[in-house]
Amino acid sequence: MTEYSDKITVEQAYLAAYEYLLRRWEYLPERLIADKLSDMSLLNDGGSADPACKHEFIEALRAVLDAEAKLGRYTRADLKLG
């Protein structure tokens, strides 16, 4: 498993957000994006309204970084027609 650091590229951040939302949709397809955004909202103490969100996002980031390390790139965001 690839270790992540506090420095990632804009593309890696974008792909991690994509992976995170894709995983949430696969798990709970009926949830609205507004529900997810509410869970991700930051509280006054800096934590998220749903503490699991940060952990799940880091898992998504690891998936992107692992794919880049093993395959050279993350492919789940590739457009697939047909």
Question: What is the full DSSP assignment across 23-75?
Answer: HHHHH-TT--HHHHHHHHPBPTTS-BSSTHHHHHHHHHHHHHHHHHHHHSS--
Look at residue 79 and tell me if it is in a domain: no
Look at residue 26 and tell me if it is in a domain: yes
pLDDT tens digits for range 22-35: 888 887 777 777 78
**pTM surpassing 0.75?**
no
**Domain enclosing residue 26, as ranges:** 10-71
Domain count for the chain: 1
Look at residue 1 and tell me if it is in a domain: no
Look at residue 44 and tell me if it is in a domain: yes
pLDDT tens digits for range 46-78: 888 888 888 888 899 999 999 999 999 999 899
Look at residue 30 and tell me if it is in a domain: yes
